Chain A
Amino acid sequence: MVWWVIARAAFRKNLAYVLAHMANNAGSLLFGLIYMALWHVASREETLGPFHGRELVSYIAASQALLWISTFLPSGLGIDLQVRSGSVALEMARPVPYVPRMVAAGIGEAFYNLVFRSGPLIVAFTVMGVFPWGHVRSEEALGGDIAAVLLALWMGVLMQYLVGIAAFWTMESRWALRLFLGLNMFMSGQLLPLQLMPPRLQESLNWLPFQALVSLPASVWLGVATQDAWISAGIWAVGLYVIAVLITHRATRRLEVQGG
């Protein structure tokens, strides 16, 4: 199947950089340690929202691992580079639809990150005894855990697609990436769980797509996810794909080749 071949190629392309990525993982680990230390001191082993004792530290450990499959994907899936070099014309002329092809490649990149970026972090946090394994109590719970991770990965890839496609209008999409990262930092619950935000804000953020990137899977792993969060993520998982297809349709009509 062509999508599988594309995803596998994207996965394999990254294998040449495993060592460099491992050095990069040390930075992620430091970030994790910083935020875990912060929450360890801040929560003072008390109950905050639905989190008890050290669960907030586990939340941060889960969040750090999840960021690599939902947020730290290649900027705009490389679409802005295709626009600038003019190669996007060739890419769009290929006999495979553009949106699913780029999304398949993005999924391949995300699975690489899952194994070689999130993986080492999960191992380190497990050794430190802070990764939330204790909440995987049954096969049903494991199913939910995996589904939430796959949703985060799918939505992360689609959001990067939307970041990249912005280049059709502005030639480059660094601004869109900054906007995405800024909103994501606040709305995904990566540093501050949404459950600890003021109730009205929390309710609003639950219905935005960002919560599916970190908050939903981390909360599912800790057994504190709400049904609303699942429903919202399900709607956005379909909605974002439809938006991507519609925007791409408009974008192709204003395609300008830059000439390389």
Chain B
Amino acid sequence: MGILSGLRLYTAMARTTLQSRAIYRANFGLSLVFNSIMVTAELIVTLLLVHRVHGILGWNTAQVMLLFGMATTSGGTYRTFLSELSYFDKYLVNGEFDAVLTRPVPAWLAVAGRSVDPDQIGLVIEGMAIVAVSGTILGIFRLDAWLVIGELLAAVVSGTLIWMAMVTALAALGFWTTRVDTLQPMVLYGPQTAATFPLSVYPTDIRMLFYSIFPVAFGTYLPAMVILRKGPGAVMVLVSLFAAAAALALALRFWRFAVRHYTSTGT
């Protein structure tokens, strides 16, 4: 199936999911508010920490805030459009995946189509607001604003692709382990938290994890270095995009391999 026809199919399924969720409007409002409280609390703690120690390894408070905003935006985007794969256990434990396999669409797309979660859109909005505020403080929009906005958009795309790759690989692992939730703190939440700080603070062996198995470096840290003119040239944004796309392609390959090894629970 081509990318365009896949996208069309995803949009149609996503629309149905959105319609079914429209009856929970109050829940949507509450989720927006409380997600916002969570992000704000995390941001305050992060900024207080960096401010208290007068910056970390050459990164000042506003720069870390930008990193935080970028990580929140891409994390929110993936959660809005692909969160269902994070809860893939239920498909395996309850036997729901059998029904998915009977559909005339690729299994990954069928699960992804159920994923649209409007409750998470608040994360995207808040992440973008944090980027806008920190970017203004840092004055990154003063010179060549369109170039910086382009770099930021590219960073959000690579960040989202990285999360999609990681959550796809995690769900694929579920075909053998059955439980996906127990691995989430290590595969998703840990790297997500790590990505909100400059990766240079971590010891080499941990840092290498974020360039390879959990490649969050390509979603936030490296693009942020480019945007803040901290070393790598603009080509690093393209390298990050390529690495993110390659990670997703690899994860999808692993997913297809895993699906071939699926055995129904019979329930």
Q: Say yes or no: is A175 at the interface (Cβ < 8 Å to chain B).
A: yes
Contact B44 A34 (CB under 8 A): no
Determine, out of B1-9, B134-142, B201-209, B235-243, the stretch whose residues face the partner at the interface: B201-209
**Please, which residues of chain B bring their CB within 8 A of the CB of A31?**
185, 189-190, 193
Q: Which of B45, B182, B206 contacts A34 (CB 8 A)?
A: B206
Q: Which of B37, B48, B56 contacts A192 (CB 8 A)?
A: B48
Quick one: which of A172, A185, A196 has the most chain B CB within 10 A? A185
User: Contact string, A150-179, partner B, CB cutoff 8 A, digits 1/0?
Assistant: 000000000000000000000010110011
Interface majority SS on A: helix, strand, loop or mixed? helix
Q: Which of A179, A186, A196 contacts B44 (CB 8 A)?
A: A186
User: How far is A186 from B27 in the complex, measured between Cα atoms in Å?
Assistant: 24
Contact A27 B189 (CB under 8 A): yes
Q: Provided the pairs A37-B203, A197-B48 are in contact, do residues A42 and B185 lie with their beta carbons within 8 angstroms?
A: no
Nearest residue (CB) in A for B53 is: A42
Determine, out of B11-19, B28-36, B103-111, the stretch whose residues face the partner at the interface: B28-36
Interface residues on B, range: 35 or more
Q: Provided the pairs A27-B190, A37-B203, A41-B56 are in contact, do residues A182 and B34 lie with their beta carbons within 8 angstroms?
A: yes
Contact B186 A33 (CB under 8 A): no
A interface, CB within 8 angstroms of B = 20-21, 23-24, 26-28, 30-31, 33-34, 37-38, 41-44, 48, 172, 174-175, 178-179, 181-183, 185-186, 191-192, 196-197
| CB pairs A–B below 8 angstroms (19 shown) | A20-B179, A23-B183, A23-B186, A26-B185, A27-B183, A27-B185, A30-B186, A30-B190, A38-B49, A42-B49, A174-B31, A175-B33, A178-B31, A178-B34, A181-B38, A182-B40, A191-B49, A192-B52, A196-B49
